[in-house]
Structure 1
Amino acid sequence: MTQSEIFGYTPDSRYEKSVAYFSMEFAIDQSLKIYSGGLGFLAGSHLRSAYELKQNLVGIGILWKDGYYDQGRSPEGLMKPYFIEKDYSFLTDTGIVFTVPVHDASVHVRAYLLKPETFGSAPLFLLSTDIPENDPISRTITQHLYDSNETTRIAQSIVLGTGGAILLDTIGLDRDVYHMNEGHSVSLNFYLYAKYKSLEEVRKRVVFTTHTPEMAGNEEHQYGLLKEMSFFYHLQEHEVKFVLGMDGDKFNYTLAALKFARKANGVSALHGQVAREMWGSNPGVCEITSITNAQNKKYWKDDVLEAALSASDDAAITNRKKQMKRDLFKVVADQCGKLFDENVLTIVWARRFASYKRADLVMYNWERFLKLLSHAEFPVQFIWAGKPYPEDQGAVDLFNTIITRAKPLANCAVLTGYELGLSALLKKGSDVWLNNPRMYREASGTSGMTAAMNGSINLSLPDGWIPEFAVDKQNSFLVQPAADQSNPEKLDAEENNNLMDVIEQVVVPMYYSDQAGWLNIVKRAAKDVVPEFESSRLAGAYYETMYTAG
């Protein structure tokens, strides 16, 4: 394929460096279900802004046959994952088939192309092993995003990293820069090492974005298993350890990526600091800077609300927010059989479902929570949504516990099917966007950015991107973190108390008694979130800071 066939546009001369952007997931459009959460939302917005800026960037991902999973309900109304085969007529079959070594065998990979004009994104190649040339086991490599089987998960990384690099060479699409969005694609470096014969030459071409501020979340596997799986391409285990200056029994994807890259970044200023503290003492790691995540406003914004915000028309803002709430509440009624009121303060917690994000923190003091819900003069409605990893039974149990506790409460709802479409409805239909992770565990937390673009006020602890944005009671509501972060039980109790104080003493009174003050916060938040947290800034920053700079 020629570059003109792939791009369909001439890249702007400002973005001369050619880039391949590797990511395990991309959230481009509701109809293309190849993502799980924030990593995909970030990658999708990046590709959309790269297209708008006409950057010389191409995405490399995987065509997940069953997606992540479809989130439905059991006969009892609890969450149940469904794995349903997907078909996409809007993808172009390039006809390109090549082989990748996995377990010392040749696995065939077919490349599909999401053309830029389809959804308004930079070109995205999606790789699949679900083709007749492969045996039944090899065909399942690209079946489930983040497969729970260890060897399958490793094979997925090989297909993304090594396979993506082989594809680029197969079609003759030379790239100046290989950008690893998280460590899943780290195997590409071993292919580049075989090609260029030195670590220095690899470093000239590779940059890395880390998204995981907790050590346990950074993927690692036994060297022996990875060697057996052909992860290191042509290198032996002892050669890998020598080249990278690594030892021990386990190969850590993030640490290796930091040694292969010439430069790396965290995804908020706070996360960059945390990442330097986590990894900086290891010899041979590259510089770790920070580029704060952002989201594509053109995709996420509501045009009617945008016009009202631009005109500072309070009546139009209020009317449009009520309509967007009614749209969301149709889903609440459909899924939960509950009729929510657009005149009632509506607080939403919705994001990837992980334990550190504490979806149930507001319920910690159950009696106080019930008292808040039963206030006759100042009523409150709560909605939860999010996708737990389907094999994380603790997260699934928490999701179902919230369903069970919310079920008898007429003003509480838990929604399933948390994907791009529902995420947009929740941001547009909420008054308050709640975010209460354990401190220093949230790398960025981009959902609050698109909430602010849609007239929903962030209520958050000061983690991730929030310290760079929030001015308490001016564009957000801030929750004070616990003084002692070392005792989980005590800090949950203290931060629940601080959260409830803000809701009861600040948020509720302002919503019902000071609408002018409320709308001032809405307008200020919408103004402050752009351009700093809009992804055209991010896409430009990556070129300036990571791709072009040495």
Structure 2
Amino acid sequence: MEFAVDQALKIYSGGLGFLAGSHMKSVYALKQNLVGIGMLWKFGYYDQGRKADSSMQPEFHEKIYHFLTDTGIRFTIPMLGKEVRVAAYYLPPDVFQTAPLFLLTTDTDGNDAATRAISYTLYDADVTLKVAQCMILGIGGARLLEELGYEPQVYHFNEAHAVSAVFHLFNKYKKVPELKKRIVFTTHTPEEAGNEKHDIRFLENLGFFSGVPLDTVRKISGNSGDVFNHSLTALSLSRKANGVSRLHGEVSRAMWKSYPKISEIGHITNAQNKAYWVDKKLEESRIAKDTAGIAARKRELKQVLFKTVADQCGKLFDPDVLTIVWARRFAGYKRPDMPVWDLDRFKKLMGNQERPVQFIWAGKPYPKDEGAINTFNHLYYLGHLFPNVAVLTGYELTLSKQLKDGADIWLNTPVVTREASGTSGMTAAMNAALNLSTFDGWICEFAKDGENSFILPVAQGGDVNKQDADNLFAKLENTVIPTYYDNPEKWRNMILNSMDDVSVEFDSDRMAREYYEKLY
């Protein structure tokens, strides 16, 4: 549903898109035989602006991309009781150094206003529209390949958004074994409740099943009754599936163990494209094991970030001060506001003149998630009380890169087992930031507490939130801040360890090879 290949192509919301973009770039570098199919979102996800009082404002602006090629391909899909026209655009590999990428849109001649709107905004809040989007991606993606005269050996469904394609393909191949040998599936959702479900007749009325009778749908998809589980269907009709970290693989197998007929679930840990993300001077210093060179370049990069802070917030940050960044999608389970749960302790931390700290938050909430938007706004207004707190808007690829370049500490606070992988900390580590994190997702495969990162102990029973918040402050007060100010040599060695440890294992070239060899 989303690919983040460049700041100029705004068809992504966050981590899932960053991941797909990195995959496309590694495919290009490794010359693998793979094409991407996605959606051309007219308004993107949304632009993160501000209202007159500077509270967050989702804004929707039309995007036009002159670097895309109109393939001239047009076809129709029966949907919503209409014949919906789909147009296909193409991103050539040499534009952003990616695998070939095809993007589908319903914003084309021959569609009425309602069907044009299907491809307006990524993850539309309207249930019917969102399912229609998934049908364009799934059925439309399979139809596009037929229009191109291209017969793939493998269809890779990255999350269950495109699962409608299996019914179109079932009509073509007629037998489940023929279908399964062509399909692989990646699940990104670590909890059962997060997997989309809909009433099966609602989906049938939309045309989701491509005319396959409901009895057959139930029989082949692993669903019984009237509730259709998209992820269960993908798992039932794939020959192989994977979670996106070692821990997530374990969580997924436990989550689906009561369904014995699904595919095996392995894991391929997420990664990010180092060639795109890493600062070249930092990387040269890492290779030379020049910790002084890393520190000097880091100070320069902090000054670049702080120009953005001054521009957005009117605050002048100091490049010699420890800078903590929390930046990713704003969502409840990620707990962005954990540092301010104990406001007295936070004020004491931020008011320390001998060992000063600067704090930056950034990230996009889902535009209809009022709770997450309120958290964002609460942090912004709270920031007025502190000259050393900034809350930034516009968390897309460019700002994300600046924040990773400029962070000393990359803070990650999800409830343990709820972050399938998380990837922002990888690119922060590539750019000489140290991760301070709960023990979840990819961190479990990377972290050595006190050697390449700072890790909070896993909360046991009781009030998990309070334990994690207390442990966060204890780690900051007793370890992180004293190390930064009192033991700079250890800090620099930890950074070098972190950069070395993230360099190969969490570069998407490794991930792309594993997908090709293990899954495809």
Please give the range of the TM-score, normalised by the shorter of the 2 chains. over 0.9
Q: How far apart, CA to CA, are the structure 1 residues paired with 2:11 and 2:355?
A: 41
Q: Does 1:419 align with 2:396?
A: yes
The answer to which of 231-240 and 373-382 deviates more is 231-240
State the shift of 1:238 in Å. 2.2
Question: Alignment partner for residue 523 of structure 1, among 472, 489, 496?
Answer: 496
Which runs of no fewer than 5 residues in structure 2 stay unpaired?
none
**Aligned position for 1:12:** none
State the shift of 1:243 in Å. 2.1
Q: CA contact under 8 A between 2:349 and 2:357: conserved in structure 1? A: yes
Map 1:426-437; keep pairs closer than 5 Å: 426-437=403-414
Map 1:123-522; keep pairs closer than 5 Å: 123-484=100-461, 487=462, 490-522=463-495
Letter in 2 for 1:282: Y
Deviation per CA, 1:181-207: give whole Å up to 9, x if none.
Answer: 000000010011000001111100000
SS in 1 for 2:503: coil
The answer to which of 239-248 and 527-536 deviates more is 239-248
Deviation per CA, 1:455-506: give whole Å up to 9, x if none.
Answer: 000000110001100001111100112111xx5xx21111101011111111
**Superposed structure 1 runs of 4+ greater than 6 Å apart:** none
Q: CA contact under 8 A between 2:323 and 2:357: conserved in structure 1? A: yes
SS in 1 for 2:511: helix
State the shift of 1:237 in Å. 2.0
State the shift of 1:101 in Å. 1.6
Q: How far apart, CA to CA, are the structure 2 residues paired with 1:265 and 1:248?
A: 27
Question: Alignment partner for residue 513 of structure 2, among 535, 540, 547?
Answer: 540
How many matched pairs?
Answer: 520
Q: How far apart, CA to CA, are the structure 1 residues paired with 2:222 and 2:444?
A: 36
**Aligned position for 1:34:** 11
Q: How far apart, CA to CA, are the structure 2 residues paired with 1:214 and 1:407?
A: 37
Q: CA contact under 8 A between 2:76 and 2:86: conserved in structure 1? A: yes
Q: How far apart, CA to CA, are the structure 2 residues paired with 1:370 and 1:102?
A: 55
Letter in 2 for 1:170: E
Q: CA contact under 8 A between 2:222 and 2:232: conserved in structure 1? A: no
Q: How far apart, CA to CA, are the structure 2 residues paired with 1:289 and 1:517?
A: 37
Q: How far apart, CA to CA, are the structure 1 residues paired with 2:240 and 2:257?
A: 13
State the shift of 1:217 in Å. 1.5
Q: CA contact under 8 A between 2:220 and 2:236: conserved in structure 1? A: no
TM-score after normalising by structure 2: 0.99
State the shift of 1:115 in Å. 0.5
Distance 1:313 1:245, change over 3 A: closer
State the shift of 1:103 in Å. 2.0
Deviation per CA, 1:97-131: give whole Å up to 9, x if none.
Answer: 11112123211111000010000000000001001
Deviation per CA, 1:40-70: give whole Å up to 9, x if none.
Answer: 1110000000000000000000000000000
Q: CA contact under 8 A between 2:220 and 2:237: conserved in structure 1? A: no
Q: How far apart, CA to CA, are the structure 1 residues paired with 2:119 and 2:154?
A: 25
Q: How far apart, CA to CA, are the structure 1 residues paired with 2:513 and 2:395?
A: 30
Q: Does 1:90 align with 2:63?
A: no
TM-score after normalising by structure 1: 0.94
Q: How far apart, CA to CA, are the structure 2 residues paired with 1:106 and 1:360?
A: 47
Q: How far apart, CA to CA, are the structure 1 residues paired with 2:40 and 2:301?
A: 33
Letter in 2 for 1:134: N
Letter in 2 for 1:529: V
Deviation per CA, 1:217-259: give whole Å up to 9, x if none.
Answer: 2111110110000001111222211222321322111111000
Q: How far apart, CA to CA, are the structure 1 residues paired with 2:439 and 2:430?
A: 19
Q: How far apart, CA to CA, are the structure 2 residues paired with 1:158 and 1:97?
A: 16
Question: Alignment partner for residue 57 of structure 2, among 69, 72, 80?
Answer: 80
Q: CA contact under 8 A between 2:160 and 2:187: conserved in structure 1? A: yes
Cα RMSD after superposing both structures: 0.8
**Aligned position for 1:68:** 45
Q: CA contact under 8 A between 2:411 and 2:436: conserved in structure 1? A: yes
Letter in 1 for 2:65: Y
Letter in 1 for 2:201: G
Q: How far apart, CA to CA, are the structure 2 residues paired with 1:207 and 1:516?
A: 47
State the shift of 1:28 in Å. 0.4
State the shift of 1:283 in Å. 3.2
Q: How far apart, CA to CA, are the structure 2 residues paired with 1:397 and 1:186?
A: 33
Letter in 2 for 1:526: M
State the shift of 1:214 in Å. 1.6
Q: How far apart, CA to CA, are the structure 1 residues paired with 2:453 and 2:305?
A: 22
Q: How far apart, CA to CA, are the structure 1 residues paired with 2:110 and 2:491?
A: 60
Letter in 1 for 2:221: L
Q: CA contact under 8 A between 2:285 and 2:294: conserved in structure 1? A: yes
